[in-house]
Amino acid sequence: MHVDTLILGAGAAGMMCAAHAAGRTLVIDHARAPGEKIRISGGGRCNFTNMYTEPENFLSANPHFCKSALGRYTPWDFIALVDAHGIKWHEKTLGQLFCDTSAKEIITMLRAEMTRAGAELWLQTQVANLSHDGSHFRAALTREGKTHDITARHLVLATGGKSIPKMGATGFAYDVARQFGMDVTETRAALVPFTFPEGRFADLSGTALPVRASAGDGQFDEAMLFTHRGLSGPAMLQISSYWQEGAPITLDLDPGGRLLDTLRQQRAQSGRRALKTELGRHLPARLVAALADHTGCVLTGNLADQSDAALAELCDRLRHWQLTPGGTEGYRTAEVTLGGIDTGGVSSKTMEARSQPGLYVIGEALDVTGWLGGYNFQWAWASGVAAGRAIAQRQQQAPLA
């Protein structure tokens, strides 16, 4: 069997690529259904893009790599597609766009776009024996117990990263990339909750509050959640991408920076109020009750008992609470994989590998990782479109005989 383009992986990037490629395209996936991560994303409503997407919202050894594809397929292009399919959406917060009804609508839309482009989809299909014979890629595809030898002019690697192995994620893309002479940067779980030994925050489990969280070069003002295992919530997921094992993270529990002035004012007006009571008006009561144990803050006495220096020291501690996580929950719950196929070996315009013409790499398999908030899907769409368009252009120049 011969096809113009064989796409490995019917996830966000692979389906988008198939919708833009021309000629005979076959998309294969080992899963039972396409776009499984789309289906479970955004709590079932898929945070499909972010209106404020900029290259600065991505981590990569080469921060310039993502610019070209993101500039040529923007959130507004995807929104236009969603609108054309009559899918209703809303902005939740910070430019994050979600489906009003269900993430399944995005999968249905992508399948329709693939069908319109004439692409075929094979599910529950295994790929083996990948090679290039000098003019074509060769592979053995096994489906329903039958093996099909296939040749393809273009091969697109869209099998994603290692996060959520339960859903079939493996390091497959990295193995194929190495086979064809590409480098792979160090990978680790990202957008993932932190764990702490001995259930350190179990007493606070379920407590949430807005914080400014920092680790390495990353700083985010978002909500944080104490869990039985450690710390989660958007702020923690965001800084997990910037955190190095063994390093501390810093929490500012007063991100607005108004607590010290407020405490001084309240001391003047209601000096007999207990310090803990006053703090409970600004922080969750359960956290205030546990603060002394966790941070070493002294919270005894009334407001009137507190000197300026004591209040300043308390607020300083609350604004620079340093904690060293034991680790993260790892790929089991990580939304993405940080690192991946080295972008140095890939054209930022077409996503084609420099070491192997005709091989394209797209989506999360590459060393491009977005922040939490719809950026990772926007990268999947944009990189998929870049490769799909490049393949379509090649097809026009030299259609298959």
Question: Applying CB under 6 A, which residues contact ligand FDA?
Answer: 8-14, 29-31, 36-37, 40-42, 46-47, 127, 158-160, 163-164, 168, 170, 172, 335-336, 363-365, 374-377, 380
- Angle between the 104-116 and 75-84 helix axes, to the nearest 10 degrees? 90
Question: At its nearest, how many Å lie between ligand FDA and the CB of residue 58?
Answer: 11
Question: Letter for the amino acid at 32?
Answer: R
Considering the complex, state which of residue 78 and residue 321 has its C-beta at the smaller distance from ligand FDA. Answer: 78
Torsion angle of C-alpha atoms 282, 287, 289, 290, degrees rounded to 10: -140
Considering the complex, state which of residue 172 and residue 243 has its C-beta at the smaller distance from ligand FDA. Answer: 172
Considering the complex, state which of residue 128 and residue 309 has its C-beta at the smaller distance from ligand FDA. Answer: 128
Structure tokens at 157: 């690697």
CB-CB contact of 174 with 378 (8 Å): no
Considering the complex, state which of residue 155 and residue 291 has its C-beta at the smaller distance from ligand FDA. Answer: 155
Q: Indicate the DSSP class of residue 307.
A: -
Considering the complex, state which of residue 235 and residue 311 has its C-beta at the smaller distance from ligand FDA. Answer: 235
Residue 87: half-sphere exposure toward Cβ, Cα within 13 Å: 25
CB-CB contact of 242 with 218 (8 Å): yes
Question: At its nearest, how many Å lie between ligand FDA and the CB of residue 313?
Answer: 41
Question: At its nearest, how many Å lie between ligand FDA and the CB of residue 43?
Answer: 8
Which residue in the block uniquely carries the two structure tokens 């489990």?
Answer: 205
Considering the complex, state which of residue 98 and residue 321 has its C-beta at the smaller distance from ligand FDA. Answer: 98
Q: For residues 69 and 52, what is the distance between their CA atoms, to the nearest angstrom?
A: 15
Which residues lie closer than 8 Å to 316 by C-beta, 6 or more apart?
none
Question: At its nearest, how many Å lie between ligand FDA and the CB of residue 339?
Answer: 13
Phi/psi for 160 (5° steps) reads 70, -165
Which residue number has the CB closest to ligand FDA?
A: 11
Question: At its nearest, how many Å lie between ligand FDA and the CB of residue 79?
Answer: 14
Question: At its nearest, how many Å lie between ligand FDA and the CB of residue 280?
Answer: 34
